[in-house]
Each structure stands twice: as C-alpha cells, then as structure tokens.
Chain A
Amino acid sequence: MKRIALLLVGLLGAGLVHADTTRISASHAWIRVLPGALPAGAYVVLRNDGDKPVALTGASTPDYGMAMLHRSTQSGGSSRMAMVDALPIPAHGTQALAPGGYHLMLMDARHPVQPGDTVRITLKFDNGVTLPVDFIARPAGALGDQG
C-alpha cells in the first residue's frame, strides 16, 4: 500500500514537471555571432501555454562561460543595457527576446562559434522548469533567425 502511494506520488510529480515543461515552448532561436572574442546576443520567442505566468530567470550553455539576461533601452536619444532578474511571460501568451530589447548576452565563448552552428542554451524559469533550446548561429549582419 505504502509502495503504491509512493509510486503514485512519483508519477504525479513526474506528470507535473512534464506538464509544466511542455507548456513553455521556444521558437525563432538565434544568435548574432560577432568576430573574435566579442560577446554575442541571443534571441528567442517564448510561449507560455499554461494558466499561470512564468518568468525566465537565467540561462546557461556549455559553449559560453557566461549567459546573462539583459535589456537594451533607449531614452533621450541614448542607448544602454541593463541586467534583468526575471522576464515574465504571461499565461497563454508570448514574450520575445529581440534585437534592441531583451536578449541573452553570451560571453567568453569556449570555442569559436561560426554562422550555421547550433548552440544549445538551457533556459531556466522561476517555476523550476528548465528548457533546452537549440539556437542557430547567424552572421553579424543578420536581422533575424532567417533571411
């Protein structure tokens, strides 16, 4: 009886985690690769099909020493970047990380990343979910994930 209960708890737990993971999805994931050892910006569209808002809180990748959540802002004719602790994605909604706004800043590449390469970045959310996403490396002059 006890064993069955444990098994049920285990199944439920697994089910919950699974349900949460599948409710956050990513598309249009790409990285703008700059020459040499310069930091790169990573962009993605996140979708939350769950009933509760979730927030992106961080990212990591074996290909770069550091991945930080940043936001570029423009005000009074000048432009700056700031760290962001959490980026909310509304329930049944989307949030884009796009050039000129929210982005992941990738620093200290562990090996040269070339346009055409795929970089797997694991996104972390405030509900404990992690989502591995494949980002396509694009040339410096790219304006999106294709074209």
Chain B
Amino acid sequence: MKLPRTPRLALFLLSLAGILLLSACHRGSDLPFKLTDIGGHMPDLQFQLTDDNGKPASAADFRGKVVLLYFGYTHCPDVCPLTLAQLHAALQKLGKAADDVRILFVSVDPARDTPAVMHAYVNAFDKRAVGLTGSAGAIEALSKRYRSGFTREPASDGGNYEVTHSSAIYVFDRNGHARVLDANAPQEDLVHDLGLLLSNGTSP
C-alpha cells in the first residue's frame, strides 16, 4: 500500500511545481511586449526622494501611473536631453492616453541638481516628467535596486566632472511592478509596450 502512494505524491508535487513555474513565467510574459520583459526579475518601484518642487516623493505617489524610470544628470548636454526628447516624442505618439505616464528623471548628481534646477530641466522636455533628487545614499539605493550603476570622475577641464550612468529606461505598470526595460530600442517598441500597459497592463 505504501509503494503506490509515493509516486502519487511525487506526481502531485511535480504538477504543483509545474503550476508554480507556469505562473512565474506568466507574470513575465502575459503581454506581448516588444522591449525586454523584466516582469518578475526586477523589484517593484520603491524610493524616498525629493521631487522637483522640493516635496518628499515616494513610489506610492505614482501608483496608478505607468512609470518610466531614467537615471541621468542635468549637466549632461548630449545623451540625457536626447533620451528625454525621445521619451517626449514617444508619449506624443500615444496621444491623450499618455497623460497617465510619468517620466521619473532621477539625478545621479545630487550635489549640482537641486530641485529648482531639476524643475526647469524636466519641464523643458515634458510636463509629465518629474525630476527626483535626494541624498547620495537614497539615490545609490535606488540605482542599486535596479542594478544600474553610475560613477563620477573628475574631467580634465576646470572643476567639472563627468558622470557615467545607465542608459536604460525601466518601465513600471500602474501597480509599480517592473515590466520592461528599454535599452536603445526603436521608438515604436516603447510606444507599443506603453500602449499595452496603459490599456490593460496591471500585474497581480
């Protein structure tokens, strides 16, 4: 009597594992994303920073919005403005629906990026962009959370320094779950995936 029971248990455990595996995969791929699907592989949005109006800001303030997270700094005259201009162009393609999107531009150069500087900067690109700055520790914690490193090094010219920063854009759904990663993909891929997330893309 003992012998037949063990295989049955094993079968049960196996199918349970199968269900768990399936649901784990399901969370990552329930929508036909074009960008890199990071569902289930990156932690939920979480931070304690200061917004460009000088007010405390946390991830909870952006629940209900589809969030684009990007690390940069305002003294970056080339790549950061290009990225923000491209994000703006992508949102324009989505029309009114994109009003539910927020671009979170997190400064990796908080010494120079005061809320006032950030405010003028992000609003020059898009009204749906929010500049976030804060203590070096809080910014490092957020950047580490998404394995997005940055370094600061002195430049060869007077008093300035160069910053190496992640070029990726992390996209979160309305519940703050990490969903896709945009690393220099064509604009239509981002527009496509934002469209999915805006229409039905919440995850459990």
Write the residues of chain A forming the contact surface with B, with a CB cutoff of 8 angstroms: 32, 34-36, 38-41, 66, 68, 70, 72, 74, 77-83, 99-100, 103, 105-107, 139-143
Chain A: minimal CB distance from B149 (Å) = 7
A72 to B184, CA, bound (A): 14
Residue contact A74 to B184, C-beta cutoff 8 Å: yes
Name the residue among B86, B120, B167 with the largest chain A CB count within 10 angstroms: B167
Chain A residues whose CB sits within 8 angstroms of the CB of B184 once the complex forms = 74
Residue contact A83 to B156, C-beta cutoff 8 Å: yes
Chain B: minimal CB distance from A130 (Å) = 22
A137 to B85, CA, bound (A): 15
Residue contact A82 to B81, C-beta cutoff 8 Å: no
Residue contact B81 to A72, C-beta cutoff 8 Å: no
Say whether B53 faces chain A, with CB atoms less than 8 Å apart: no
Known contacts A34-B121, A74-B184; A143/B89 CB under 8 A = yes
Residue contact A143 to B85, C-beta cutoff 8 Å: yes
Residue contact A40 to B77, C-beta cutoff 8 Å: yes
Within 8 A of A (CB), among B148-202: 148-150, 155-157, 160, 162-168, 183-184
Main secondary structure of the interface of A (DSSP, over half): strand
Closest residue of chain A to B89 (Cβ to Cβ) is A143
Say whether B78 faces chain A, with CB atoms less than 8 Å apart: yes
Say whether B75 faces chain A, with CB atoms less than 8 Å apart: yes
Residue contact A141 to B82, C-beta cutoff 8 Å: no
- Ordered by A's residue number, 27 sampled pairs between the chains whose C-beta atoms are within 8 Å are A32-B77, A34-B77, A34-B81, A35-B120, A36-B117, A38-B74, A38-B75, A38-B77, A38-B117, A74-B167, A77-B183, A78-B149, A78-B150, A78-B165, A79-B166, A80-B164, A81-B78, A83-B155, A103-B77, A103-B78, A107-B160, A141-B84, A141-B89, A141-B124, A142-B85, A143-B86, A143-B89
Chain B residues whose CB sits within 8 angstroms of the CB of A70 once the complex forms = 78
A106 to B155, CA, bound (A): 15
Chain A residues whose CB sits within 8 angstroms of the CB of B86 once the complex forms = 143
14 extra interchain contacts, Cβ-Cβ under 8 A, other than A78-B167, A79-B79, A106-B77? Answer: A36-B121, A40-B77, A70-B78, A72-B79, A74-B79, A77-B166, A81-B76, A81-B162, A83-B156, A83-B157, A99-B79, A140-B84, A141-B124, A143-B82
Chain A residues whose CB sits within 8 angstroms of the CB of B78 once the complex forms = 41, 70, 72, 81, 99-100, 103, 105
Set A83, A99, A106, A140: member contacting B125, Cβ < 8 A: A140
Residue contact B120 to A36, C-beta cutoff 8 Å: yes
Chain A: minimal CB distance from B167 (Å) = 4
Say whether B126 faces chain A, with CB atoms less than 8 Å apart: yes
A38 to B125, CA, bound (A): 14
Chain B residues whose CB sits within 8 angstroms of the CB of A80 once the complex forms = 162-165
Residue contact A141 to B75, C-beta cutoff 8 Å: no
Chain B residues whose CB sits within 8 angstroms of the CB of A82 once the complex forms = 162
Chain B: minimal CB distance from A104 (Å) = 9
A74 to B183, CA, bound (A): 10
Set A40, A141, A142: member contacting B126, Cβ < 8 A: A141
A77 to B46, CA, bound (A): 22
A140 to B125, CA, bound (A): 6
A18 to B62, CA, bound (A): 61
A78 to B79, CA, bound (A): 11
Say whether B145 faces chain A, with CB atoms less than 8 Å apart: no
